[in-house]
Amino acid sequence: MNANTHAICPICHSDHTTGGRCDCQQVEIKADLIPEHQLDLLASTVLRATVRAFEDPDVQAEYECWKAERQQRKEMVQ
């Protein structure tokens, strides 16, 4: 790596300017070990964020375009 290159991992923000690498992308999530109350909290947080996002007309329009494209692909396969 060039001595003038400043390399920061975009995931864990480890500094790799002098070389080396992190293992942040080797994380294994075992969903079956996550407590039920944590899953409920996560799900409700995602749901609230999704509802808020869909209040934006641009998000709604993008979704409708995606849905139409998906339907077209589905019809082509049949």
If one compares 70 and 28, the residue with the highest pLDDT of the two is: 70
- For the chain, the maximum distance between any two Cα atoms, rounded to a whole number of angstroms, is 56
User: Under a CB-based contact definition with an 8 Å cutoff, are residues 22 and 14 in contact?
Assistant: yes
* Its pTM surpasses 0.75: no
Please, what is the average pLDDT of the chain? 86
Count CB neighbours of 5 within 10 A. Answer: 10
Residue with tokens 């494209």: 69
Q: pLDDT-based confidence at 1, cuts 50/70/90?
A: very low
Task: Tell me the C-alpha distance between 33 and 46, whole Å.
Answer: 19
**What residue ranges do the domains of the chain occupy?**
1-29, 34-77
The mean pLDDT value for 51-62 works out to: 96
Q: What's the pLDDT score for residue 70? A: 95
Task: Tell me the C-alpha distance between 76 and 21, whole Å.
Answer: 45
Task: Tell me the C-alpha distance between 51 and 40, whole Å.
Answer: 16
